[in-house]
């Protein structure tokens, strides 16, 4: 049995392993470390498919394994992070609270569970649904329908990084607002499963003419990251949609 057929799957498992570590950090509220391991997992996610194509060892097993790994790294982790952020915005970081305000809690045996933070977990459900659709959609070989889960994970994980590193009272006040976080959660659920066609960063050749939109996106990404750092990530996602909409006729 050739060893090379297992190489992409090993890289996929590294993505899953990174996601598991990120999940541990996210549960304990260590968002910076969680973000690092999500970024690492996305790095592995990019290269497993590339290796499978280069080694010509693509398989149905690899496709399923890739989606399972993505669900953890780019679905469960950002969902937990959003849950924790909403809980923090409400003044609690605990899953179970004994707050006497019954209007936003569920109660059993004296303990109370905040309801609003659970909206953050909708991100996990939307990610799972998006990945399941992707696996059976034969059209999405050269483009995406809806926001890919790794991009959505980057969007959500950028929020605590902006709070941690940008030192902006205005941005912090916006991000640590429960209604803003709820809107972002619901918006991300929609974007994950929308029918908007988005270009994929897959180069068939290195021609600028054939890949103008991709090169433009990469240049904008680098410039924005250098200038705005983590605050650039939400803007990059917006530009991704904007450029894709402009290039609809070439996305197929």
Give the tens place of pLDDT for each residue, 75-86.
999 999 999 999
Euclidean distance between CA atoms 142 and 140, whole angstroms: 6
Average pLDDT over the chain reads 87
Q: Residue 100, Cα to own-chain centre: how many angstroms?
A: 35
Give the residue among 233, 239, 237, 247 at the shortest CA–CA distance from 148: 237
Please state, in angstroms and rounded to a whole number, the distance separating the CA atoms of residues 133 and 141.
13
Q: What pLDDT shows up at residue 119?
A: 96
HSE-CB of 162 using CA atoms within 13 angstroms: 24
Is 94 within 8 Å of 87 (Cβ atoms)? Answer: yes
pLDDT band, residue 252 (cuts 50/70/90): low
Q: What is the pLDDT of residue 99?
A: 46
> Which domains can be identified in the chain, with CATH numbers?
3-138+170-195 (1.20.120)
- Residue 108's pLDDT band, with cuts at 50, 70 and 90, is low
pLDDT value at 228 more than 80: yes
The whole-model pTM stands at: 0.88
Asked which of 93-107, 196-210, 223-237 is least confident by mean pLDDT, the reply is 93-107
Predicted local distance difference test score (pLDDT) of residue 100: 46
Cβ 99 vs Cβ 112: under 8 Å: yes
């Amino acid at each position: 049995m050739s060893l090379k057929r297992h190489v992409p799957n090993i890289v996929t498992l590294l993505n899953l392993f990174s996601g598991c570590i990120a999940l541990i950090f996210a549960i304990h509220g260590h968002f910076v470390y969680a973000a690092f391991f999500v970024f690492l997992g996305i790095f592995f996610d990019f290269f497993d498919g590339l290796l499978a194509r280069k080694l010509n060892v693509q398989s149905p097993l690899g496709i399923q394994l890739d989606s399972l790994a993505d669900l953890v790294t780019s679905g469960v982790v950002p969902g937990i992070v959003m849950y924790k952020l909403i809980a923090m915005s409400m003044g609690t970081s605990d899953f179970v609270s004994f707050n006497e305000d019954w209007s936003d809690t569920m109660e059993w045996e004296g303990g109370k569970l905040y309801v609003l933070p659970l909206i953050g977990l909708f991100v996990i459900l939307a990610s799972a649904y998006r990945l399941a659709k992707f696996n059976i959609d034969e059209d999405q070989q050269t483009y995406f329908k809806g926001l890919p889960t790794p991009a959505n994970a980057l969007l959500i994980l950028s929020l605590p990084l902006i709070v941690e590193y940008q030192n902006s009272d205005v941005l912090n006040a916006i991000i640590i607002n429960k209604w803003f976080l709820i809107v972002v959660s619901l918006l991300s659920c929609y974007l994950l499963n929308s029918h908007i066609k988005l270009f994929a960063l897959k180069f068939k050749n290195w021609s600028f003419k054939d890949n103008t939109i991709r090169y433009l996106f990469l240049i904008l990404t680098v410039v924005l990251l250098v200038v705005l750092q983590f605050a650039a990530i939400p803007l990059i996602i917006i530009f991704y949609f904007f450029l894709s909409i402009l290039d609809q006729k070439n996305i197929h």
